[in-house]
Chain A
């Protein structure tokens, strides 16, 4: 049996509900707006928040890019792309600059985002205070009172224990000098890209039923101390083994046979684009 789904899978009522929540999220940068979070044909916690945002946004003229940890071709990205193509028939692309909607899991692309684009981030844990406060009621109160000493203390303890802030990803950030936000598990390397971004950034957590947003040109400051500044991952003298790129986020890969490690661009479409340019020129 072939089911004829509505355009963009959702019924219009579900889209309306997400749209109302999104408009409020944009009006209160960094604040987590609860939304209904419908059942999706993929499991909760696998990008349903981002997917629902994308489906509420998408129109016939949009060009979509979906990435999963920097890759256009890994399972999560491919399946989300398939679902959206099947229910909308829109064009998809790998090229960051060509896309109008970019849904991403755990990365912000290397190529700077532009004004016409919307970045949708999939968020597993939207609550930056959950690590030390299990109750939703309490964390809501802490946000209401702008009581973020726990978040600072968490970083302080990391510095005391390990001599560095050990947040590998998801380093909390202060948005518009009011709300502390979980930037989704993007590496610290990507945190500065949130600040004063040209594109609208929407974050969706399907399992936790929250959407939040960072409008363009909004101040997003990664939490740090006066005498212990925020630092991104350093790749110093390392470069991509394929395209030679420096100053980008690199994956460390172990060669099983030789036991050597080498580095490669995490953003695969960026790497591919550079390789194509090299071979063309």
Chain B
């Protein structure tokens, strides 16, 4: 079935909102992602569903991937969003094949907003190998009753980079993780990651 730009994207939004307001809650958008995949197959369909839900002419974005040029063209054709540099991007996509050096650069250079306009901070969408609620990282903060647990498998490390970037609340970046099974996990800037001490 074809992707319904009204109802399917509404569902993607509600699930993303649910995950954003309850950090650690993993929502699944496989149904919508499958419909996207039938039309465009050479790209992570969950990421693409998020892009279709969020991007339009008003959005500036940046892609970190080995196939950056192709993906940028595809996104631009689909949404008319404009490609830009890391510093001025509203949304940054870090795909699975991104270069670790470039990822470091993204976390360092991306806009964390400013004190008058903290909402101008970037949102980073990261394609992970898998996300689950296995006990690896412990999360606390708004949206979490006591604490929640996540395991995010990526080819690169991001926990320390994120902590550095988000050290001055309300400035900071918000992360959305997706994986191959179209799971969504969000980490707004308010969420604190407590590293468990082994033993």
A interface residue numbers (CB < 8 A to B) = 6-8, 12-13, 15-17, 19-29, 31, 33-34, 56-60, 140-141, 143-145, 176, 178-179, 200, 213, 215-219
Mark B residues whose CB is within 8 Å of A. 5-7, 9-11, 13-14, 16-18, 20-22, 53-56, 58-59, 114-119, 121, 123, 142-145, 169-170, 174, 188-190
Chain A residues closer than 8 Å to B121, beta-carbon distance: 24
Q: Which residues of B contact A140 (CB under 8 A)?
A: 116-117
Please determine whether A26 and B188 come into contact, CB atoms closer than 8 angstroms: yes
CB closest chain-B residue, reference A56: B13
Total number of A-B contacts with CB less than 8 angstroms?
Answer: 101
B17–chain A nearest beta-carbon distance, Å: 7
Chain B residues with CB under 8 Å of A23's CB are 16-17, 20, 123, 174
Contact A16 to B56, CB < 8 A, known contacts A33-B119, A141-B116, A215-B142: yes
User: Is B54 a contact partner of A216 (Cβ separation < 8 A)?
Assistant: no
User: What is the CA–CA distance of A216 and B142 in the complex, to the nearest angstrom?
Assistant: 7
6 A–B pairs (Cβ distance < 8 Å), ordered by A: A7-B6, A19-B17, A58-B10, A59-B14, A145-B115, A179-B170
The answer to whether A29 and B142 touch (CB under 8 A), given A16-B56, A19-B54, A200-B21, is yes
Q: Which are the 9 A-B pairs with shortest beta-carbon distances?
A: A27-B188, A144-B115, A218-B142, A24-B119, A215-B143, A215-B21, A33-B119, A200-B21, A27-B174
Whether B7 and A28, one on each chain, are in contact in the complex, defined by CB atoms closer than 8 angstroms, is no
> What's the minimum C-beta distance from B12 to chain A, rounded to whole angstroms?
10
Please give 8 more A-B residue pairs, beta carbons under 8 A apart, in addition to A27-B174, A29-B190, A176-B190.
Answer: A16-B56, A17-B58, A24-B119, A34-B119, A59-B10, A144-B116, A215-B142, A216-B143
Interface pair B143/A59, CB less than 8 Å apart:
no
How distant is the Cα of A218 from the Cα of B188 in the complex, in angstroms?
Answer: 13
Chain B residues with Cβ below 8 Å from A176 are 142, 190
Chain A residue numbers with a CB within 8 Å of B58 are 17
Q: Which of B6, B10, B20, B53 contacts A26 (CB 8 A)?
A: B20
Q: Is the CB of B13 within 8 A of A19?
A: yes
Known A-B contacts A17-B58, A26-B17, A178-B170; the reply to A217 vs B119 at CB < 8 A is: no
> Are the CB atoms of B142 and A12 closer together than 8 Å?
no
